[in-house]
Amino acid sequence: MDKILIPFLLTFIVLLKNVESTSLEANQFEELVVYITSLESKLNNVERKLSVVENQLEVQIYINQKQEKELQTHKAQIESLKTDNGQLKKKVEMFEKQHEHIDRFLKRILNSGVFETKTNITKRRIKSDVQQYNREYNDISSRFVSREGERVAFSALLNRELTNLGPGHTIQYGATYINEGNAFNVHTGIFTVPFDGVYLFFFSCEDYHNHRIYADIMVDGHRKSLILEGGDNINSMGSNLVILRLTQGQSVWVAIDINGNDDSLQDSATTFSGVFLYY
């Protein structure tokens, strides 16, 4: 109900009083105003309740829409499962048919007597096939293991000055940049060959002032390469490279040559490196 109605009625009552209306009529109009005010309050309550119901209805509509989407998703999943189930049934039927075919084939062989007459031949063939398989498997396994073990490389450097080195002294470098495969012993300066193959070695030496350096790469005590440098009153450096075919367990190191005497080595530039190349 329009809220302007109450002020209008009040104004109407005042006008009636102004025209000296009877007290009975004034009371009747006052009662009417009270009644109309009560109706307006009830109407406002109804409107509020209606608004609450409308909000609840909107929430329920949203919930219904969400449930409908979930229902559609479940339906799609069920259809997908039905399709997968149908495909699995077809595969099972195909396997069953193959099994029946193989079973019939084996029965024919057993019933024909060919199996008994050729038993020895079949055993020899099976044994040969198994042996061939084992050879191939072992070959593949060894190749795989070899590939896993191919990571062999080291690079060592002298981490201090060495002086008064006598003939045959093995250089103990004390530090490495890399030592993959852990075949090089940083404390002893010796590389132990992990498996048969071809290896590359590089070594360099820096002398101290006017000292002359004789240094060798040694394999099990036999010289394979030589450095000879120095002599002037300045630091000098020499290096050499060698490629060797070695067998597992052999030892490789750098040592002062038997002709060397009173040698002195500088750090950093004195290095020893090696890497596996191929089998």
pLDDT tens for residues 153-210?
Answer: 999 999 888 877 778 889 999 899 999 999 999 999 999 999 999 999 999 988 766 6
33 shares its domain with 107: yes
Rounded to 5°, angle at Cα 244 from 242 and 248: 140
67 shares its domain with 128: no
127 shares its domain with 86: no
44 shares its domain with 64: yes
Task: Tell me phi and psi for residue 195, to 5 degrees.
Answer: -160, 160
CB 189 within 8 A of CB 274: no
pTM: 0.47
Q: Can you give the length of the chain in residues?
A: 279
161 shares its domain with 56: no
User: d(Cα 272, Cα 157) in Å, to the nearest integer?
Assistant: 6
Per-residue confidence (pLDDT) for residue 55, from 0 to 100: 85
96 shares its domain with 8: yes
3 shares its domain with 111: yes
73 shares its domain with 142: no
| Residue burial 144-181, b: 16+ Cβ < 10 Å; e: rest | eeeeeebebbbbbbbeeebeebeeebebbbeebeebeb
Structural domain of 91: 1-115
85 shares its domain with 140: no
User: d(Cα 206, Cα 237) in Å, to the nearest integer?
Assistant: 4
Q: Which of 160, 269, 128, 149 is nearest to 207 (CA)?
A: 269
User: d(Cα 17, Cα 128) in Å, to the nearest integer?
Assistant: 131
Per-residue confidence (pLDDT) for residue 115, from 0 to 100: 46
Number of domains, the chain: 3
Report the CATH number that the domain containing residue 175 is assigned in CATH.
2.60.120.40
231 shares its domain with 259: yes
CB 258 within 8 A of CB 168: yes
110 shares its domain with 194: no
